[in-house]
């Protein structure tokens, strides 16, 4: 089941991606207004996240993390494991897999890279994030890094594509401002912003390959 999905995704990822069209569906109003006009600054920091697919009880799941509370714009948010590029990384796919290992304890050598989604610039943290999709042949053992991760969240990818989990609510930003934004209700957690936009593109591809 996972092998077939991986093959379909690998082929689909070799073609032009939905990119902004998919991102816009889960972007808040201000972001929708400006998304097509955003220019990634030359000093933007490079980062990568990993959508890790694995089998579990005849289902295909992925893993997300609830970040620890800290003094920063992404404090306490639900996200895919990932982080900033380091000079020792040979490329950004290695960044995504290394960071997933550091945050969740998965074994790097067990991850098979499938491909890459559309990169996404995040103005509040000045990150250009590159999302990658990878797979493992069996369910990994998770050992979350308690300094960075409050909780590991395992999600059935069929639930991710359930449109009934999409809603709209008011979010208070780290700077105190409030916005109305679309979001996913994932295992009782509010998932919005860049992570929701990445999920939207991933879901678009799943629908295209009729998964």
Q: What percent of the chain has pLDDT over 70?
A: 95
Residue of 45, 40, 153 whose CA lies nearest to 104:
153
Structure pTM? 0.94
* CA atoms within a 13 Å half-sphere pointing along the CA-CB vector of 160: 30
pLDDT for 71: 67
Indicate the fold that domain 2-208 takes in CATH: Nucleoside Triphosphate Pyrophosphohydrolase (3.90.79)
Please give the sequence-ordered ranges of beta strands (E in DSSP) within the chain, or none if there are none: 45-56, 59-67, 78-79, 82-84, 112-116, 120-122, 127-135, 149-156, 166-172, 178-186, 189-191
The rounded mean pLDDT for the chain is 92
Task: Give per-residue pLDDT as tens, 90-129.
Answer: 999 999 999 999 999 999 999 999 999 999 998 878 899 9
């Amino acid at each position: 089941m996972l092998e077939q999905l991986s093959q379909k995704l690998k082929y689909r990822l070799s073609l032009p991606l939905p990119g902004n069209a998919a991102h816009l569906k889960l972007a808040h109003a201000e972001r929708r207004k400006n998304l097509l006009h955003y220019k990634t600054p030359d000093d933007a920091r490079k980062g990568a996240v990993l959508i890790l697919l694995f089998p579990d009880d005849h289902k295909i799941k992925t893993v997300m993390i609830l970040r620890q509370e800290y003094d920063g714009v992404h404090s306490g948010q639900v996200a895919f494991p990932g982080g900033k590029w380091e000079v020792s990384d040979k490329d950004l796919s290695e960044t995504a897999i290394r960071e997933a290992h550091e945050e969740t304890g998965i074994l790097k050598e067990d991850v098979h890279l499938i491909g890459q989604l559309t990169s996404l610039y995040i103005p509040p943290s000045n990150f250009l994030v590159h999302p990658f999709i990878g797979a493992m042949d069996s369910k990994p053992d998770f050992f979350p890094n308690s300094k960075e991760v409050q909780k590991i969240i395992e999600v059935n990818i069929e639930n991710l594509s359930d449109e009934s989990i999409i809603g709209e609510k008011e979010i208070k930003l780290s700077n105190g401002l409030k916005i109305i934004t679309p979001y996913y209700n994932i295992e009782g957690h509010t998932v919005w912003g860049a992570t929701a936009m990445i999920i939207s593109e991933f879901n678009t591809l799943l629908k295209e390959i009729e998964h």
